[in-house]
Amino acid sequence: MEKAILVGVKLNNEKIPLEESLAELEQLARTSGAEAVTVITQNRERPDRKYFIGQGKAEELASLCAVNKPDLVIIDHEVSSTQIRNLEDFIGVKVIDRTELILDIFAQHAHTREGTLQVELAQSEFQLTRLSGHGVSLSRLGGGIGTRGPGETKLEMDRRRIRKKISQLKTELEAVAKSRHLLREKRRSSRIRVGAIVGYTNAGKSTLLNAMAKAQVLVEDKLFATLDPVTKRTYLPGGQVILLTDTVGFIQKLPHQLIDAFKATLEEVNEADFLLHVVDSSSPYMEDQIEAVYKVLEELGAIAKPIVTVFNKMDLKELPKKYLKQYSPAVFISAATREGLDDLSIVLSKLPAPPA
């Protein structure tokens, strides 16, 4: 385990409470293999130009680093490359931001060809934004006598190299996506309805698929355990067959490079006839997580699909009945104990048939 100091920053215009975002950052850090030794926080009007956190916080962080000797510092925000570099120079410890942390987890969890390609694409796009951040200082370094010539600056070369890689990755991904598209066409022509299981990461989506379809999908108390969509067949009362697809989990402040790179995978959501929105009822942040999922669904253009809300983990926490009405059609279940699965099957069998 690497040792990390976590830095929580809440800017004035932000809604998510510091503690909530930090609790999640800690889980993200653990998932990627880092243990939080200390946490510091700051409320700011807007980011500090030089360090993102203020000068005073940077000094506090420097002395904490001297005492705790962490392997890295993780800032719970998207931070510019210049600010990261300034901070690293100042405290003498490696600094990463939330986006980089999430990309690292995705890289560790990608197994299939498609998953790996998508992560590589996201990382390349991230590098590109980082490069433009370095822009000013690098081009100054690269400028001057002897470096000008007819050639290009190092920055431009790097940019071009990354852009080329991005376009190669996209071409490869398109090929993979095409075969997936064929599969979907086949499914559609069989007129079997397809439901996409969506939800916040760690809500229990894979556990539900396993319970509904006797599947063997990896279940872990880790964030983003699932990166690749898995589709399984399941039977409803009355013998009706449907297909259920497990998908990548959503999260607050999901880096846009990821949504972009994972378009192919997330297309499963767009192509589905209905959505099963799995909610972790035991989370103290349940309602914010529901909102975060809606936001991503909106970005994907899938919010208008029929949504069945599945309040999971009722073995851990029972919710008031009002939620069933508020989120109707909705059910309370425990994917772990299989409680409520029959109710869910009944709700699913009553969904209107897809247009022919």
Ligand X SMILES: Nc1nc2c(ncn2[C@@H]2O[C@H](COP(=O)(O)OP(=O)(O)OP(=O)(O)O)[C@@H](O)[C@H]2O)c(=O)[nH]1
* Distance in angstroms (rounded) separating the CA atoms of residues 66 and 31: 25
Contact between 219 and ligand X by CB under 6 A: the answer reads: yes
Among 201, 231, 283, 309, binds ligand X (CB under 6 A): 201
Among 206, 257, 265, 345, binds ligand X (CB under 6 A): 206
Please choose which of ligand X, Mg ion, none residue 70 contacts, taking the beta carbon within 5 to 8 angstroms, the exact cut-off set by kind.
none
Please choose which of Mg ion, ligand X, none residue 336 contacts, taking the beta carbon within 5 to 8 angstroms, the exact cut-off set by kind.
ligand X
Among 99, 334, 344, 347, binds ligand X (CB under 6 A): 334
Binding mask 226-245 for ligand X (x = CB under 6 A): x-------------------
Among 124, 202, 234, 245, binds ligand X (CB under 6 A): 202
Contact between 25 and Mg ion by CB under 5 A: the answer reads: no
What is the smallest separation between the CB atom of 103 and ligand X, expressed in angstroms?
A: 15
Q: Determine contact, residues 86/80, Cβ cutoff 8 Å.
A: no
Contact between 124 and Mg ion by CB under 5 A: the answer reads: no
What is the smallest separation between the CB atom of 206 and Mg ion, expressed in angstroms?
A: 3
Binding mask 220-259 for Mg ion (x = CB under 5 A): -----xx---------------------------------
H-helix or E-strand spanning residue 91: helix 81-91
Tokens representing 356? 């022919």
DSSP 3-state assignment of 298? helix
The CA-based dihedral angle spanning residues 166, 172, 176, 181, taken in that order and rounded to the nearest 10 degrees: 70
Contact between 32 and ligand X by CB under 6 A: the answer reads: no
The Cβ-side half-sphere exposure at 135, using a 13 Å CA radius, reads: 6
Contact between 283 and ligand X by CB under 6 A: the answer reads: no
Judging by DSSP bridges, how do beta strands 241-246 and 230-235 pair with one another?
antiparallel
Question: With 0-12 CB in 10 A as exposed, 13-18 as middle and 19+ as buried, what is 224?
Answer: buried
Our CB check for ligand X shows the closer of 173 and 279 to be 279
Contact between 318 and ligand X by CB under 6 A: the answer reads: no
Please choose which of Mg ion, ligand X, none residue 119 contacts, taking the beta carbon within 5 to 8 angstroms, the exact cut-off set by kind.
none
DSSP class per residue in 189-226: HTT-EEEEEEEBTTSSHHHHHHHHH-------SSTT--
Our CB check for ligand X shows the closer of 70 and 249 to be 249
* Distance in angstroms (rounded) separating the CA atoms of residues 201 and 207: 12
Contact between 271 and ligand X by CB under 6 A: the answer reads: no
CB proximity list for 310: less than 8 A, separation 6 or greater: 199, 208, 276, 277, 278, 279, 330, 331, 333, 344
Name the one range near ligand X by CB under 6 A: 13-21, 130-138, 195-203, 347-355.
195-203
DSSP 3-state assignment of 275? strand
Binding residues with ligand X: total (CB under 6 A): 24
Strand partners, 263: none
Please choose which of Mg ion, ligand X, none residue 334 contacts, taking the beta carbon within 5 to 8 angstroms, the exact cut-off set by kind.
ligand X
* Distance in angstroms (rounded) separating the CA atoms of residues 168 and 175: 11
Site for Mg ion in 201-220 (CB under 5 A): 205-206
Per-residue HEC secondary structure of 14-82 comes to: CCCCHHHHHHHHHHHHHHHCEEEEEEEEEEECCCECCCECCHHHHHHHHHHHHHHCCCEEEECCCCCHH
What is the smallest separation between the CB atom of 251 and Mg ion, expressed in angstroms?
A: 13
Among 95, 110, 223, 347, binds ligand X (CB under 6 A): 223
Site for ligand X in 33-62 (CB under 6 A): none
Contact between 336 and ligand X by CB under 6 A: the answer reads: yes
The Cβ-side half-sphere exposure at 63, using a 13 Å CA radius, reads: 5
Residue ranges in contact with ligand X by CB under 6 A: 199, 201-207, 219-226, 249, 312-313, 315-316, 334-336
